[in-house]
Amino acid sequence: GPMSTTSLPGHDTSVEPNGLPTPPASVFGRVHLGYLIIETQRMTDWRRFGVDAVGMHADELDRDTLRFRLDEHACRFLLERGPAEDVTTIGWQLDDHDTFDRVIDRVRSAGVPTVEGTAEQAARRGVERLLRFPGPKGITQEVFTRPVLGEVALDMRTSRFVTGEGGMGHVALTSTNPAGLRGYYDTVFDARLSDYIDETISGVMLKIRFLRVNGRHHSIAVASTQGVRLDPVRTRVQHLNVQVAELDDMVGAYQRIKELGFGMALAVGQHTNDRELSFYAQTPSGFEWEVGWNPIVVDETTWEPVTHRGISVWGHTPVGQTVIDKLDQFRLGLASLIREEDVVAPLAGAGVEDYVREVAPSAGRAQPGRPGFTGLG
């Protein structure tokens, strides 16, 4: 039925025996990455990339709108014509109306406005209805409870993508205010820290924080520089990730991407923290697209956050990146110092500071003599 947005019950304000109000119930585990919106002028390239290279199902809504499917959901990626060449919006699926009301109440209680999506916006995203509110780095966040299911059978080169409870994959951002970004996702979705990775890229030490909102090891990765404050990439999103069901699906996608002439950022390798086997391709918009296979699923009863040194146990070596590209990337990063990053302060609160320092004994090491650049999470 229709969702009530006028009657907002707010947090549970029942009183504990000691006279203190109970904290609001957590929404952790009831939040799943639902869809992403990409703004691009390069529709033809994106169609080739999504369908022929990655191996997704495509539906063209009109000249300016393309949708990719991974599973029964009608929309997992919405591509709209525009100049950004970036991810502009993250859509989050919430399990039920209670969770929806709780999240929206948190946003509004912080004094952050929410806007109801129009019927047309909902239809394009393949959801029944949605609410929108501002997110970190200018990326709009949207929440919905009911996806529309695709009407036609999937037609794609990949046998199956892994979505379900873990959502559709993950998004990695670079940030000059990682504590604020963590604060934001803690406030809105009760995100939990999975672990850290310390890695040097282009001579700059990075700390990457991996945040989960369900059993998927991470739905959001946040990379920030240690010491010097800079944002090392042009796009708001550094990469996004989809997970395939079979190793053959990953190998097939890797071969198709190479054969079709799309840029390969990092060759196949294995991550230290979630143990996912993956590679990173260059999208037509310039950010990276990771295709991964077989990451571990977090067991909440035993999981302890640790710090890993180096992002990869093996592989993930740069493909065809020159020293000139490296310096160019570094120059872009320094230029970005002057941009003040927005983390939506009312929702970020005081921010969540780092607290885990020890290094996981099992952590992979960068191979001797290999370049430091390894992509992010």
The model's pLDDT over 87-99, given as tens digits with 9 standing for 90+, comes to 999 999 999 999 9
Give the mean model confidence (pLDDT) for residues 190-217.
Answer: 91
pLDDT at 322: 67
pLDDT at 377: 44
**pLDDT band, very low/low/confident/very high, at 9 (cuts 50, 70, 90):** very low
Give the mean model confidence (pLDDT) for residues 314-333.
Answer: 73
Q: Which residues, 6+ apart, have CB-to-CB distance to 8 below 8 Å?
A: 101, 104, 105, 108
**pLDDT band, very low/low/confident/very high, at 300 (cuts 50, 70, 90):** very high
Q: Which residues, 6+ apart, have CB-to-CB distance to 280 below 8 Å?
A: 239, 264, 265, 266, 288, 289, 290, 316, 375
CA angle 374, 307, 375 (to 5 degrees): 15
* pLDDT exceeds 60 at position 368: no
Give the mean model confidence (pLDDT) for residues 194-223.
Answer: 91
Q: Whole-model pTM? A: 0.86
Best CA proximity match to 29, nearest among 266, 178, 195, 189? 189
What's the pLDDT tens digit per position in 35-81? 999 999 999 999 999 999 999 999 999 999 999 999 999 999 999 99
* pLDDT exceeds 60 at position 103: yes
Q: Is 130 left (phi over 0), alpha (psi -120 to 50) or beta?
A: beta
SS3 assignment, position 43: helix
